[in-house]
Structure 1
Amino acid sequence: MKHYLPLCLICLAYFTSYSQEENVEYSDANEFVETFKNRITAKLFYVNTYNSYVFSDRNSNLSFDLEPNKQNRIGASIAYDFLSLSYSFAPNFMAENEDNEDSKLFNLDFRLFLGKWMQELYYNHEKGFYLTEKDNDLNFEVYLPKTAAFKIGGSTSYIFNENFSYRSIYNQSQKQLKSAGSFIPGVYYYYSKIKLRADNSEESVTGELKSFDVALNAAYYYNFVPVRNLLLSAGGGAGLGMNHSSSDDEDLTSLLTELNFSLAVNYDIGDFFVGSHFNYLILNHNTDRTTYTEDNIPKFQIYAGYRFKASKKMVKKTEELKDKVNL
């Protein structure tokens, strides 16, 4: 029954918006951006995301990949004002999900927009990894079902150009009407923990790595609008910072380099929209005095959605709630 929840979310969006009133404002636009006020945005989506690692020995060409047993997920989300709710699951009919071998993935990734400030929060927990070495004579791959990795963090960014809409890329609560770009500086921060288990015992830990990353980033994004209803977006950035890693053998603080880039396309047909979004974050640092680590977080999403007009009663109740919590 839980797999019917995506459909329930869409139905919820429809019924909570069924009765509209003429005196409720549903759109506000200038030359560059249209904001869909008092709208419920409902989406169905397919998403593939994971967190993988590459450990390279500085004194040789030995390199190991630690990559999770990946899962394709489908789900649904609804968003209204500052509230949002989503659910996704990994169906067995997708080819990549047929051999999960008890692997697990739990992921949260969302953004909060406060004026020109953008706050991203990220949580990821994975269990079940493949350890591979392909560049040398060893050339092996082993599955570690009890190995687990955990990451939490996010970023805080500032969007300089108010004519550039990041919301049109991320949650479609705005629409870019005319091409615009913006410089977006920010700070990234993540805490990660890997528990490497060589056998099937939950208690047997072969090794444990803890890592804390913080980096200042400079990025630029551009939204290109070739025709009124089509949006093409691209952007990227780079940053420098510090990593502190703690393993069974030693603690080490080293230089952190950060790279990220994003591509997106969105097409509107009235209140209906379809699109896709791809972004990639790479964190590079030393784990210990002989090991160099690449920390990779790709995410690819395809979606289709609709913006419903909220009822006057719902708009009123939401404003009362915002007044009570001082939003």
Structure 2
Amino acid sequence: MGLKTRHITLVFLLAYFKAHTQAHDVMPQPKLDYIAPITNKITARLFFTNTYNSFTINDRDSNLSIKMEPNKQNKIGASLSYRFITASFAFAPNFLAENKDNENSKLFNLNLRTYFGKWMQTLDIFNEKGFYLKHASANVYFSNLKAFKIGGATSYIVNENLSFKAIVPQHEKQLKSAGSFIPRVLYYVTKYDIDDAPTATKLDMYSYDIAFAPSYYYNVVPFNNLLLSAGVSAGIGLNHTHSKSNGNKENLTSLLTEFNFRTSTSYNINNAYFGAHYSYLIINHNTDRSSYVNDNIPFLQVFLGIV
């Protein structure tokens, strides 16, 4: 028996509109032979999404490695966008194989992106309940294991001829190939909560990440209406972890490293478009003096839309 998860996300970013308009007026405009703006039009899309936040805990003194993987869910949905207003609906249907055994689990995620001239702001939220702990041949499900993550990145697109809006959310069209160096600052807060009565284990842990993660993206237009895009970032920063387990407290500040790869492809025919996005974010840091964590966020979306 499966648990169907539905969520409706209605995001109003009208407060950003005035700031964006002012920034747009003072920033140099892209050359029209590189970018064609799509303004005053409603963008509608259908999509399939698979994304989650998993963790791999590695012990420094042994070869022990435990993977914490949430009870994953595939979602399908639809969205409408107009300038800075987006309304979306997505759900995890039982007829998809991966959703058939997700009772008492939760996987909610929200991804937002907005632009202010050359500045780009992203926001990510993951709320997960129910994890599999995998080690060697063992695969144990903990229904009361929870993780909540919120954060994002602030980026600056140096070359105005590169259009990120042509990638997400298709509000511009890249006419000629262009690339750009994109410095960015990445930050996340993650809360872990384990309350397992049979093993008398109770853990509350907060993890704070901040990193400078410069990136480079390139949009390739091999021929009219086809866009291929790829980008990579490598960052370094700090993590601070505060944990409390069965009455014992520990604080640790350690070095953090970040790696992110993203690729996209889209094709438009008149007012219709389709394509796919894929990205993989890895954040590595210590959690205590004897272990370190690989914090992983894969993301896949396949979409079909009209403008």
TM-score by length of 1: 0.82
Please state if 1:146 is matched with 2:148. Answer: no
The residue aligned with 1:279 is 279
**Maintained 8 Å contact 1:217/1:258:** yes
Alignment correspondent of 2:289: 289
**8 Å CA contact retained: 2:7, 2:91:** no
Q: Deviations over 1:49-70 (max 9, x none)?
A: 0000000000110010000000
The answer to whether the aligner puts 1:221 opposite 2:223 as a matched pair is no
Match of 1:90 in 2: 92
Q: For 1:251-270, what aligned pairs fall within 5 Å after superposition?
A: 251-270=251-270
- State the 4+ residue runs in structure 1 displaced beyond 6 angstroms: 2-6
1:205, CA displacement in angstroms? 5.8
Contact 1:223 1:234 in 2 (8 A): yes
| 1:109 and 2:111 matched | yes
Q: Cα deviations across residues 268-295 of structure 1 (Å, max 9, x unaligned)?
A: 0011000000011111000000001100
- Conserved? CA contact 2:6–2:90, under 8 Å: no
Gaps of 5+ in 1: 10-27, 308-327
Q: Offset of 1:110 from its aligned partner?
A: 1.0
Q: Which residue of 2 aligns with 1:208?
A: 204
CA separation of 1:114 and 1:129: change in aligned 2, threshold 3 A: same
Distance, in Å, in 2 between the alignment partners of 1:225 and 1:89 is: 34
Higher strand share: 2
Superposed counterparts of 1:1-327, under 5 Å: 30-134=32-136, 139-199=137-197, 206-248=202-244, 249-307=249-307
Shift of 1:101: 2.3
Contact 2:49 2:302 in 1 (8 A): yes
Alpha-carbon separation, structure 2, partners of 1:206 and 1:56: 20
2: distance between equivalents of 1:197 and 1:97? 25
* Native 8 Å contact 1:146 1:200 kept in 2: no
Alpha-carbon distance in 2 for matches of 1:104, 1:62: 28
Give the Å deviation of 1:197.
Answer: 2.8
1:133/1:4 Cα in 2 relative to 1: closer, same or farther (>3 Å)?
closer
* Contact 1:145 1:200 survives alignment (8 Å): no
- Over 3 Å counting, the alpha-carbon distance change for 1:101 and 1:5 in structure 2 is closer
Measured after TM superposition, the shift of residue 206 of structure 1 is 2.1
SS in 2 for 1:96: helix
Distance 1:144 1:4, change over 3 A: closer
Change (3 A) 1:67 1:4: closer
Q: Aligned pair in 2 of structure 1 residues 3, 293: CA closer, same or farther (>3 Å)?
A: closer
User: C-alpha displacement at 1:87, in angstroms?
Assistant: 1.4
Name the CA distance, whole Å, in 2 between partners of 1:215 and 1:29. 32
| Secondary structure of the structure 2 residue equivalent to 1:206 | strand
Contact 2:31 2:161 in 1 (8 A): no
RMSD: 2.1
- Give the Cα–Cα distance (whole angstroms) in 2 for the partners of residues 211 and 297 of structure 1: 15
For 2:108 and 2:274, how far apart are their aligned partners in 1?
25
CA deviations on 1:279-325 (whole Å, 9 max, x unpaired) are: 11111000000001100011000000001xxxxxxxxxxxxxxxxxx
Total equivalences in the alignment: 280
TM-score (structure 2 length as normaliser): 0.87
C-alpha change, 1:141 and 1:179, in structure 2 (3 Å) is same
**Identity over aligned residues, as a percent?**
52
User: Is the 1:144–1:199 contact (alpha carbons within 8 Å) kept by the matching residues of 2?
Assistant: no
Larger helix fraction of residues: 1
Quote how far apart the aligned CAs of 1:247 are: 1.2
Unpaired stretches in structure 2, ≥5 consecutive residues: 11-29
- Partners of 2:37 and 2:273 lie apart in 1 by 15
Provide the C-alpha distance between the structure 1 equivalents of 2:151 and 2:7, rounded to a whole number of angstroms: 28
Query: Do the aligned residues in 2 keep the contact of 1:151 with 1:192 (CA within 8 Å)?
Result: yes
Question: What is the CA–CA distance in structure 2 between the aligned matches of 1:97 and 1:49, rounded to whole Å?
Answer: 13
Contact 1:101 1:145 in 2 (8 A): no
Please identify the structure whose Cα radius of gyration is greater.
Answer: 1
Q: Is the 8 A contact 2:5 2:92 kept in 1?
A: no
